[in-house]
Structure 1
């Protein structure tokens, strides 16, 4: 039986995942079984009564920084990356709605035929009606990452925490894929993340979270039931806060 809503620590959360998380084993684009698996993870949390916002990166389709590094003008490359996030958001919407969850894709760049424009009060109302809100197109501005967009929207929506889904079960002092002696932190401060360049999120996102006392929970998206488990008070993760 699903946990009752009062059993969760957080009532409204932001789930931030990378575009690469949707690639699965294929190395590019969207891998439907992987998208469906992540949607199922979101459903288990939604079934607990938690209000969910999502931001998905676009790196599985196009990464603005990569484009600019190859000679493309940075602003154009970043806008292309924003459009990639809209494609991912629509893919996730389709997977969630196939599971019976009402969703809204809300874009910072108006494109009325495929999604809603971002209007804060309307988005809050969607959350109150238990719809999953997937925020797409970043902040609508070049030079800002989807990490920063997730933190901005989380603050605007009054989320109580950002859940950053990654390939590892928390924040380590060095890359655990390359170093057997890497140590995972149970808890770490925003300032230590910035000072040690731990790559949790980009510096703008961490500073924005710090200034608004918004905790960041870093966990493994590959761990079945991990998202729900943390909300139920279990699981392995790193908490980034004021310390």
Structure 2
């Protein structure tokens, strides 16, 4: 029999309900709060509080955060910059966001690791699948930075890829609204909201939830996508317990 310290290293917390391990995808813009660009510390702390409440349930949590609040590769490409260069700059922006979130979580006493698809040894660990899984088994929050590490792939696709690699039970997409609509509800007063969709519904009707490659990857691996509003307090914890308002995308 191993010692107590050895046992504590291998404890695997089992959460109630179907979603024992989840990936949360947050856009970089969500971290701006009311700012025009950059990182709003108050908003980062609020999101950290949402993650803390889910972590307290015993659910293993990993994250992918976009970089659009700092730099967006496609916008740079549109203005004349080479797309590949712009995308790599966007990946570095996701590292900055990930470090900010790590700091906010660790202030709350939640051990957190940033794993980057681009090796940046001075500030975070390189992405290694088995290492990431081990961190989550120990109750640490894992943040995946730098997207897939390749240009021409969005952080949505990175989220679906990491959720598949980690064996996540669900991919939660945090947005500004409480689900998927057939039009932007901020602009169209009578936009129709969906409670449930299939992956093919999303692709067929070109609903702007995540890009097509992310939807296809989630479909191939049978990972449900739950879309909810990050601006509703307690929404993340509610959704992983099957409560609150959200749209679920499944087969």
Q: What is the TM-score normalised by the length of structure 2? A: 0.94
Alpha-carbon offset, residue 5 of structure 1: 5.7
Q: Tell me how far apart the structure 2 counterparts of residues 71 and 214 of structure 1 sit (CA, whole Å).
A: 37
Task: Work out whether 1:14 is the aligned partner of 2:23.
Answer: yes
Q: Which residue of 1 aligns with 2:104?
A: 95
> In structure 2, do the counterparts of structure 1 residues 59 and 226 end up closer, same or farther at CA, with 3 Å as the change threshold?
same
Q: Which residue of 2 aligns with 1:42?
A: 51
Tell me whether 66-75 or 176-185 shows the greater mean CA deviation.
Answer: 176-185
TM-superposition CA deviations, 1:56-108 (whole Å, max 9, x none): 00000000000000000000000000000000000000000000000000000
Q: Which residue of 2 aligns with 1:64?
A: 73
Q: Tell me how far apart the structure 2 counterparts of residues 152 and 168 of structure 1 sit (CA, whole Å).
A: 24
Please show how residues 100-179 of structure 1 align to structure 2 within 5 Å.
100-179=109-188
Alpha-carbon offset, residue 7 of structure 1: 3.4
Instruction: Look at both structures and tell me which one has the larger radius of gyration over its CA atoms.
Output: 2
Q: Tell me how far apart the structure 2 counterparts of residues 167 and 5 of structure 1 sit (CA, whole Å).
A: 30
Tell me whether 178-187 or 68-77 shows the greater mean CA deviation.
Answer: 178-187
Runs of 4+ displaced beyond 2 Å: 4-9
Alpha-carbon offset, residue 130 of structure 1: 0.6
Alpha-carbon offset, residue 232 of structure 1: 2.3
Alignment RMSD (CA, Å) = 1.0
Q: Tell me how far apart the structure 1 counterparts of residues 189 and 18 of structure 2 sit (CA, whole Å).
A: 33
Q: Tell me how far apart the structure 2 counterparts of residues 181 and 67 of structure 1 sit (CA, whole Å).
A: 34
Q: Tell me how far apart the structure 2 counterparts of residues 231 and 52 of structure 1 sit (CA, whole Å).
A: 11
CA contact (8 A) 2:15 2:59 kept: no
Alpha-carbon offset, residue 197 of structure 1: 1.2
Alpha-carbon offset, residue 8 of structure 1: 3.1
The correspondence for 2:195, drawn from 186, 192, 207, is: 186
Unaligned runs of 5+ in 1: none
Please show how residues 177-216 of structure 1 align to structure 2 within 5 Å.
177-216=186-225
**Number of residue pairs matched by the alignment:** 239
CA contact (8 A) 1:28 1:60 kept: yes
CA contact (8 A) 1:166 1:219 kept: yes
Tell me whether 225-234 or 118-127 shows the greater mean CA deviation.
Answer: 225-234
Q: Which residue of 1 aligns with 2:38?
A: 29
Q: Tell me how far apart the structure 1 counterparts of residues 238 and 27 of structure 2 sit (CA, whole Å).
A: 20
